[in-house]
Structure 1
């Protein structure tokens, strides 16, 4: 199986029909259909189930696509580097962040950075934790910004912010009258939980377990920003990182006990030195983070 065949397989899995895959790849539909049949004949097992003109990938096809992700991530990083060299972008920095940082500290740091270096080009994306780590590791981004970092082999991490999780709700919610919210206070109200297995979700569950309160929720979401939006809409109460509520206009933010610390970190590759532009941007992030800590205090 060559790279072109893998690319074609990934396109059909993603698009679910040969027509859409053909359009994406700039090929004809018969060419894509014949290529898939030839590939299945070549490897000796089916890659798709064909139902009502749609293609449903087999478990084997999904496994092949998953294993090919690093290859195409490296290829994307290589193409980006070639393009930078072609356009002589010596001042180009690629950054990626999880939502709490991507919607709070990073935009302010980016504004300050570009005010001093207007000719620098920035590529910025907001993704989930795992995607940030993977993008930095594969060279798609120079700097990644995350909450709740553990030790990741191959990546260098630096904590630049540490605060406690907070409880958020509408100002007219009965719990808004309290200065401190505990898991016991959340027994009898609609609780918006963070998804099990996520960094922030694990921190909240550990706080409930620490005081022996059963963990129950009305709604479960992946991101703290989503939890804040729901809390602001009156869906319930949530325990989130201290950064996510900063952009909300109608949220009461209260201390949460037991204290549940969370730190923000920047990750970079140990295999590649940072560009001067990335170093300069990181300095701006440290400054804004310090100002944010003072604001939260």
Structure 2
């Protein structure tokens, strides 16, 4: 007894006539009648009693109907699953980001993405640049979002944003009302530096050097997010990427353009050896839109 025969048996039981079953299955009435007779011959017992042109299932037929219910429930669930996958409404993707993007545009993209795909499961983490690159290379994460990465032999690196660094400072700071802040403006003021040796930390030091100003700092931190938290506490001024001030969640933080213009770029990284899933591709589109909106709000 195969699945098609079970499907036919269930249709006849539900409809109580071969005409109704034929209409439901898209078959002719003789084809259904012949199939029922063939199935009874194959099984060696009657499946229906025929009374007044209606078919009443025997106890054996009812038993088969009940026992086959889990099979067809699984089939219905599988069809729904296939539909979800076809429309990218189900599945799982793993995403990783460095703090400026992981605490800024990425959560915005995640909220919108999941609102339309409640069955999708996301694995998301925020780590430093070196760890992001390693996890994407090893296949632990499918997509990585970072600031300031160079060419990588095992990763596809694609820019998703290009901008410039900004100054973050408390709203009550004397420089908060400026149209632009330069290294000369920061002379003799408490300064929060990004860690020496990091890409962004090096970029800021080069900007001071280009302006002919000595680089002095009161505090040194690794992450722009940390620098923003300290700046919002009134400790000093920080030069950071443009996304971290909004991601710090501190309404008392002011943002002012920094000159000389110090470029900063955001990238998406993915494995060269593994194709990107359709789900990850759709999420990347959502991230691009979130970045465009965040860029429009930048000073």
TM-score (norm 2): 0.68
**What is residue 118 of structure 1 aligned with on the other side?**
118
**What is residue 255 of structure 1 aligned with on the other side?**
257
**What is residue 179 of structure 1 aligned with on the other side?**
179
RMSD of aligned residue pairs (Cα, Å): 1.5
Alpha-carbon offset, residue 127 of structure 1: 0.2
Query: Moved runs in structure 1, 4+ residues, more than 6 A?
Result: none
Residues 195 and 220 in structure 2, CA contact (< 8 A), matched pair in contact too: yes
Equivalent residue runs for 1:46-57 within 5 Å: none
Where 2:112 maps in the other structure, the secondary structure is helix
- CA distance in structure 2 between the partners assigned to 1:282 and 1:108 by the alignment: 12
Q: Deviation per CA, 1:194-252, whole angstroms, max 9, x where unpaired?
A: 00111211111110111121111000000000000000001111000000001321111
Where 1:258 maps in the other structure, the secondary structure is coil
Alpha-carbon offset, residue 90 of structure 1: 6.7
**What is residue 227 of structure 1 aligned with on the other side?**
227
- CA distance in structure 1 between the partners assigned to 2:291 and 2:201 by the alignment: 23
Where 2:110 maps in the other structure, the secondary structure is helix
- CA distance in structure 1 between the partners assigned to 2:175 and 2:106 by the alignment: 31
- CA distance in structure 2 between the partners assigned to 1:269 and 1:263 by the alignment: 20
**What is residue 46 of structure 1 aligned with on the other side?**
none
Equivalent residue runs for 1:1-297 within 5 Å: 91-246=91-246, 247-296=249-298
- CA distance in structure 2 between the partners assigned to 1:137 and 1:231 by the alignment: 35
Task: Please list every run of 5 or more consecutive structure 2 residues that lacks an aligned counterpart in the other structure.
Answer: 1-84
Larger radius of gyration between Structure 1 and Structure 2: 2
Where 1:125 maps in the other structure, the secondary structure is strand
Where 1:92 maps in the other structure, the secondary structure is strand
Alpha-carbon offset, residue 109 of structure 1: 0.3
Task: Please list every run of 5 or more consecutive structure 1 residues that lacks an aligned counterpart in the other structure.
Answer: 1-87
- CA distance in structure 1 between the partners assigned to 2:278 and 2:207 by the alignment: 41
The number of equivalent residue pairs is 210
- CA distance in structure 2 between the partners assigned to 1:140 and 1:177 by the alignment: 45
Q: Deviation per CA, 1:157-199, whole angstroms, max 9, x where unpaired?
A: 1111111100111111111132111111111110000001112
TM-score (norm 1): 0.69
**What is residue 37 of structure 1 aligned with on the other side?**
none
